[in-house]
Copies of this chain bind each other. A is one copy, B any other.
Amino acid sequence: MSNACRSGCPINLTLEMLGDRWSLIVIRDLMFGNRRHFRELLTGSEEGIASNILADRLKRLVAAGLLTKSDDPAHRQKAVYSLTEPAIQLVPLLAQMGAWGSRHTPASPELSIRAKLLEEGGPPLWEAFMDELRSLHLGAPAKGPSVLARLQAAYEAAVAHEAAGT
Protein backbone atom coordinates (compact mmCIF):
# COMPACT_ATOMS: atom_id res chain seq x y z
CA MET A 1 0.00 0.00 0.00
CA SER A 2 3.02 2.26 0.18
CA ASN A 3 2.78 5.43 -1.77
CA ALA A 4 3.11 5.72 -5.51
CA CYS A 5 0.65 8.66 -5.72
CA ARG A 6 -0.75 7.50 -9.01
CA SER A 7 -2.61 10.74 -9.56
CA GLY A 8 -3.91 13.83 -7.82
CA CYS A 9 -7.55 12.84 -8.21
CA PRO A 10 -9.28 13.06 -4.83
CA ILE A 11 -11.09 9.76 -5.39
CA ASN A 12 -7.83 8.06 -6.26
CA LEU A 13 -6.01 9.48 -3.25
CA THR A 14 -8.82 8.36 -0.97
CA LEU A 15 -8.55 4.88 -2.45
CA GLU A 16 -4.80 4.86 -1.99
CA MET A 17 -5.32 5.62 1.68
CA LEU A 18 -8.39 3.52 2.48
CA GLY A 19 -8.94 1.26 -0.52
CA ASP A 20 -8.24 -2.13 0.91
CA ARG A 21 -10.27 -4.79 2.59
CA TRP A 22 -9.51 -3.94 6.22
CA SER A 23 -8.81 -0.26 6.86
CA LEU A 24 -12.43 0.81 6.78
CA ILE A 25 -13.44 -2.23 8.82
CA VAL A 26 -11.15 -1.02 11.59
CA ILE A 27 -12.54 2.50 11.35
CA ARG A 28 -16.08 1.16 11.30
CA ASP A 29 -15.49 -0.71 14.57
CA LEU A 30 -13.94 2.33 16.22
CA MET A 31 -16.84 4.42 14.95
CA PHE A 32 -19.91 2.25 15.47
CA GLY A 33 -18.63 -0.55 17.68
CA ASN A 34 -17.26 1.66 20.43
CA ARG A 35 -13.99 -0.26 20.52
CA ARG A 36 -10.73 1.28 21.68
CA HIS A 37 -8.17 -1.47 22.31
CA PHE A 38 -6.24 -3.84 20.12
CA ARG A 39 -7.92 -6.89 21.64
CA GLU A 40 -11.41 -5.49 21.25
CA LEU A 41 -10.74 -4.79 17.60
CA LEU A 42 -9.15 -8.20 17.12
CA THR A 43 -11.87 -10.38 18.58
CA GLY A 44 -14.84 -8.06 18.58
CA SER A 45 -15.72 -7.96 14.92
CA GLU A 46 -17.46 -10.63 12.98
CA GLU A 47 -14.92 -10.63 10.18
CA GLY A 48 -11.98 -12.11 12.10
CA ILE A 49 -9.03 -9.94 11.23
CA ALA A 50 -5.59 -11.48 11.81
CA SER A 51 -3.47 -9.86 14.48
CA ASN A 52 -0.62 -8.94 12.14
CA ILE A 53 -3.02 -7.36 9.66
CA LEU A 54 -4.66 -5.39 12.45
CA ALA A 55 -1.28 -4.23 13.75
CA ASP A 56 -0.27 -3.14 10.26
CA ARG A 57 -3.51 -1.26 9.59
CA LEU A 58 -3.41 0.51 12.95
CA LYS A 59 0.15 1.58 12.25
CA ARG A 60 -0.74 2.88 8.81
CA LEU A 61 -3.86 4.68 9.97
CA VAL A 62 -1.91 6.36 12.76
CA ALA A 63 0.80 7.33 10.26
CA ALA A 64 -1.88 8.70 7.91
CA GLY A 65 -3.28 10.85 10.70
CA LEU A 66 -6.64 9.09 10.88
CA LEU A 67 -6.06 7.58 14.31
CA THR A 68 -4.13 8.50 17.41
CA LYS A 69 -2.57 6.02 19.77
CA SER A 70 -2.22 6.79 23.45
CA ASP A 71 -1.60 4.92 26.66
CA ASP A 72 -4.46 3.82 28.81
CA PRO A 73 -3.93 5.55 32.17
CA ALA A 74 -5.56 2.66 34.04
CA HIS A 75 -3.68 -0.16 32.36
CA ARG A 76 -0.12 0.68 31.46
CA GLN A 77 0.10 -2.09 28.91
CA LYS A 78 -2.98 -1.06 27.01
CA ALA A 79 -2.97 1.25 24.05
CA VAL A 80 -6.03 3.34 23.28
CA TYR A 81 -6.86 4.13 19.67
CA SER A 82 -8.99 7.15 18.89
CA LEU A 83 -10.49 8.64 15.75
CA THR A 84 -9.10 11.98 14.63
CA GLU A 85 -11.16 14.67 12.96
CA PRO A 86 -10.39 13.48 9.40
CA ALA A 87 -11.54 9.99 10.34
CA ILE A 88 -14.68 11.34 11.99
CA GLN A 89 -15.45 13.12 8.73
CA LEU A 90 -15.64 9.70 7.09
CA VAL A 91 -19.09 9.30 8.64
CA PRO A 92 -20.94 10.38 5.47
CA LEU A 93 -18.79 8.06 3.37
CA LEU A 94 -19.44 5.06 5.62
CA ALA A 95 -23.13 6.00 5.77
CA GLN A 96 -23.33 5.90 1.97
CA MET A 97 -21.35 2.69 1.89
CA GLY A 98 -23.73 1.07 4.36
CA ALA A 99 -26.75 2.36 2.49
CA TRP A 100 -25.47 1.00 -0.81
CA GLY A 101 -24.51 -2.32 0.69
CA SER A 102 -27.86 -2.79 2.37
CA ARG A 103 -29.57 -2.23 -0.97
CA HIS A 104 -27.26 -4.00 -3.41
CA THR A 105 -25.61 -6.82 -1.51
CA PRO A 106 -27.08 -9.77 0.39
CA ALA A 107 -26.52 -7.97 3.68
CA SER A 108 -28.10 -9.21 6.86
CA PRO A 109 -31.41 -7.38 7.43
CA GLU A 110 -30.67 -6.91 11.14
CA LEU A 111 -27.26 -5.44 10.44
CA SER A 112 -28.75 -3.21 7.77
CA ILE A 113 -31.05 -1.52 10.27
CA ARG A 114 -28.34 0.85 11.44
CA ALA A 115 -27.30 1.65 7.89
CA LYS A 116 -30.86 2.48 6.91
CA LEU A 117 -31.43 4.65 9.97
CA LEU A 118 -28.25 6.58 9.23
CA GLU A 119 -29.31 7.01 5.63
CA GLU A 120 -32.81 8.20 6.49
CA GLY A 121 -31.44 10.63 9.04
CA GLY A 122 -29.30 12.18 6.33
CA PRO A 123 -26.75 14.96 6.87
CA PRO A 124 -28.38 16.32 10.07
CA LEU A 125 -28.10 12.93 11.77
CA TRP A 126 -24.56 12.50 10.43
CA GLU A 127 -23.56 15.81 11.97
CA ALA A 128 -25.07 14.85 15.30
CA PHE A 129 -23.25 11.55 15.20
CA MET A 130 -19.98 13.26 14.31
CA ASP A 131 -20.41 15.59 17.28
CA GLU A 132 -20.91 12.56 19.44
CA LEU A 133 -17.78 10.92 18.11
CA ARG A 134 -15.85 14.12 18.78
CA SER A 135 -16.97 14.02 22.37
CA LEU A 136 -16.06 10.37 22.70
CA HIS A 137 -12.69 10.61 21.04
CA LEU A 138 -11.52 14.15 21.62
CA GLY A 139 -13.26 15.17 24.82
CA ALA A 140 -15.42 17.76 23.10
CA PRO A 141 -18.79 18.36 24.74
CA ALA A 142 -21.71 16.24 23.61
CA LYS A 143 -24.77 18.15 22.55
CA GLY A 144 -27.73 15.86 22.13
CA PRO A 145 -29.01 12.39 22.87
CA SER A 146 -26.76 9.50 21.89
CA VAL A 147 -27.10 8.62 18.22
CA LEU A 148 -24.96 5.55 18.81
CA ALA A 149 -27.32 4.27 21.49
CA ARG A 150 -30.30 4.88 19.22
CA LEU A 151 -28.70 2.90 16.38
CA GLN A 152 -27.76 0.09 18.74
CA ALA A 153 -31.24 -0.06 20.27
CA ALA A 154 -32.82 -0.34 16.82
CA TYR A 155 -30.44 -3.15 15.94
CA GLU A 156 -31.12 -5.07 19.13
CA ALA A 157 -34.86 -4.62 18.71
CA ALA A 158 -34.56 -6.10 15.22
CA VAL A 159 -32.56 -9.05 16.53
CA ALA A 160 -35.06 -9.62 19.33
CA HIS A 161 -37.95 -9.41 16.91
CA GLU A 162 -36.20 -11.91 14.68
CA ALA A 163 -35.46 -14.28 17.58
CA ALA A 164 -39.07 -14.11 18.80
CA GLY A 165 -40.21 -15.77 15.60
CA THR A 166 -41.38 -13.93 12.49
The chain B residue sitting closest to A87, CB to CB, is: B104
A111 and B25 contact, Cβ closer than 8 Å, known pairs A20-B19, A92-B96: no
Residue of B nearest to A85 (CB): B104
A99 CA to B86 CA, complexed, in Å: 12
Specify the main secondary structure of chain A where it touches its partner.
helix
Let me know if A166 is at the binding interface, CB within 8 A.
no
Query: Cβ of A139: which chain B residues have Cβ within 8 Å of it?
Result: none
Contact size range, A: 35 or more
Chain A, 100-112, contact with B by CB distance < 8 Å: what is the 0/1 string?
Answer: 1111111110011
Question: A14 and B111: CB pair below 8 A?
Answer: no
Kindly report how many copies of this chain are found in the complex they form together.
Answer: 2
Stretch from A3-11, A127-135, A142-150 contacting the other chain: A3-11
Can you spell out 7 A-B residue pairs with CB atoms less than 8 angstroms apart?
A8-B106, A10-B102, A11-B24, A11-B25, A11-B101, A11-B115, A86-B103
Q: Which A residues form the contact surface with B (CB < 8 A)?
A: 6-17, 19-21, 24-25, 28, 45-48, 86, 89-90, 92-94, 96-108, 111-112, 115, 122-123
Additional pairs, 15, CB under 8 Å, beyond known A10-B115, A92-B100:
A6-B48, A7-B47, A10-B101, A10-B105, A10-B112, A11-B24, A11-B25, A12-B46, A15-B24, A15-B97, A16-B21, A17-B105, A19-B19, A19-B24, A93-B96
